[in-house]
Structure 1
Amino acid sequence: MRRQRRSFSPKFKHDAASLVLDQGYSLAEAGRAVDVHENTLRKWVQQLESERSGNTPKSKALTPDQQRSQELEARVNRLEREKAILKKATALLMSDDLKSTR
């Protein structure tokens, strides 16, 4: 029987990575403390370091600032798609109006 894959919230990942970066735990100690494999924790630590240096991750962000940034980027992308759709619809309607007035 397969073990079910665990999932962790961004807050949990942030707190676990903070143990290593801010509180001086080793990866092994922090991994045992939060019951997460050392390699998994290493990825979270690298992601948190990257986010703290200002890089926006491709996966779910750990820091509140980066989470907000990702939300805003997603909103901008959605609005740009909507704008493109409206632009095409307007052009289509205008071309229909030109054809009907001739």
Structure 2
Amino acid sequence: MVAKKQYTKEFKLDAVSLVLDQSYTVAEAACNLEINANMLRRWIKEYQTDNDGQAFRGNGKLTPEQEEIRRLKLENKQLKMEKQILKEAAVFFAKETK
């Protein structure tokens, strides 16, 4: 019987990032990482449905450095969304004043 291979949280997050942030297709990313495409799709789904930033928690707790990185990534994501909203508002109001 073959032992089930386990992947770290960082590996999973990097794999998901290839697809969501770097515009790789699921098939390309899976092939490059030598993992099954369906598994990568499952990781992406888990990441996207995660509301509290605890996707791929595993059995252990995060180290202080990992927790800080997670917090900064969430903050970065929030700031990017706010920036996009402000850009769209500026375009909207620029059209209104003409």
Match of 1:14?
A: 13
The alpha-carbon deviation at position 64 of structure 1 amounts to 2.3
| CA distance in structure 2 between the aligned counterparts of 1:46 and 1:28, rounded to whole angstroms | 15
| CA distance in structure 2 between the aligned counterparts of 1:58 and 1:35, rounded to whole angstroms | 21
Map 1:1-102; keep pairs closer than 5 Å.
2-51=1-50, 54-55=51-52, 60=57, 64-65=70-71
**TM-score, normalised relative to structure 1:** 0.51
**TM-score, normalised relative to structure 2:** 0.53
- The answer (yes or no) to whether the contact 2:46–2:55 under 8 Å persists in 1 is no
Alignment RMSD (CA, Å): 2.3
Aligned residues, how many? 61
- Identical columns (%): 30
| CA distance in structure 2 between the aligned counterparts of 1:58 and 1:21, rounded to whole angstroms | 15
| Largest Rg, 1 or 2 | 1
| CA distance in structure 2 between the aligned counterparts of 1:58 and 1:9, rounded to whole angstroms | 12
Q: Which runs of 4+ in 1 moved over 2 A?
A: 54-59
Alignment gaps of 5+ in structure 1: 66-102
- The answer (yes or no) to whether the contact 1:47–1:57 under 8 Å persists in 2 is no
